[in-house]
Structure 1
Amino acid sequence: MAMQFTDSNFEKEVLEYKGTVLVDFFAVWCGPCKMMSPIIDELSTKYEGKVKIGKLNVDEEPSTAAKYGIMSIPTIMIFKDGKVVDKVVGALPKQELENRLSKWM
């Protein structure tokens, strides 16, 4: 199961983390976000110990979403050692997401 990122834990869990982190910016009312949710959970299990994968609810955690200019959801960002290295707006197939993620592992 993907972890929950919040405004209060984002710096420690994502920005200070040495390694790769995938963050799914979502909202519970968003249809494409609901399509991506099981894919994100599946990848978090598959890559456990290799990549940190989690979700951030933009309605509940607005300051982190605003800091990264999240205007459309889902937005998936990949961080490497605290820096944004990839960003995808909108839903995408699991294989494409895995291909993007594998470049940063």
Structure 2
Amino acid sequence: MDKAMLATDADTSESANSYPTSSYSLIDLAKNQIALIEAIVENPRFGGLDAVVSQRLKDLGFLPNTPIRIVAKGLFGKPPYAVQLGSGVQFSLRLDELQKIRCKAL
């Protein structure tokens, strides 16, 4: 009986320590949290320029499966955020740009 309880406790603690696999906006990640970019999504705030902004982000290296990390956040934890791509290059992104980048926390 005790062994069964231990196995159940181990299973519970293991699932509690596992990270969620859902997709987040880059704005939702904590400082120094590492994630993988999943996609660049539409943001209506850019209006007719949304496709141009999306292409620019891709040209800068914000591509699917690229590691990304929040290096620093602005005053009171608000944007702009300094982010670092897996290649080591850093960028400062505003709120609207952060909301376009969907990622999966590691």
Rg larger for: 2
Fold equivalence (TM over 0.5): no
Structure 2 length-normalised TM: 0.28
| TM-score with structure 1 setting the length | 0.29
